[in-house]
Amino acid sequence: AQSVTQLDSHVSVSEGTPVLLRCNYSSSYSPSLFWYVQHPNKGLQLLLKYTSAATLVKGINGFEAEFKKSETSFHLTKPSAHMSDAAEYFCVVTWGTGGFKTIFGAGTRLFVKA
């Protein structure tokens, strides 16, 4: 069975400090993994994706994530948080032909303090 666990429902950081949002997954298949961000009153936006190429994936706005198969993890990081990063972040697993089967994690709300 496939599953996604986001280990923290809320993360609070100060502006300028590193961000770590944790995601573990379980999949019987070779999954594709994504991180999406959801700002209030806006649609989900893709941050980055892993599709079995490089294990360290760079995304938009300075975010990156590392796929670790041995740990079944796909944690999202950013070296220095900005106020505009405050949002809800979702880790997503897809599988099936062309990835139409999808599971979202429950989300992690990131708060950034001035």
Question: What is the end-to-end Cα distance of the chain in Å, rounded?
Answer: 41
- The count of chain residues that interact with other proteins, using the rule CB under 8 A, is 25
Q: Is 54 helix (H, G, I), strand (E, B) or coil?
A: coil
The identity of residue 104, as a single letter, is F
Site for other proteins in 32-91 (CB under 8 A): 32, 34, 36, 41-46, 49, 51, 90
Contact flag: residue 10 with other proteins (CB under 8 A): no
Cβ atoms of 4 and 104 within 8 Å: the answer is: yes
Render the burial of 6-38: b for 16+ CB within 10 Å, e for the rest.
beeeebebeeeeebebbbbbebeeebbbbbbbe
Closer Cβ to other proteins, 45 or 84, answer by number: 45
Which range binds other proteins by CB under 8 A, 12-20, 70-78, 79-87, 103-111? 103-111
Closer Cβ to other proteins, 36 or 74, answer by number: 36
Closer Cβ to other proteins, 70 or 97, answer by number: 97
Binding site for other proteins (CB under 8 A): 32, 34, 36, 41-46, 49, 51, 90, 94-95, 97-107
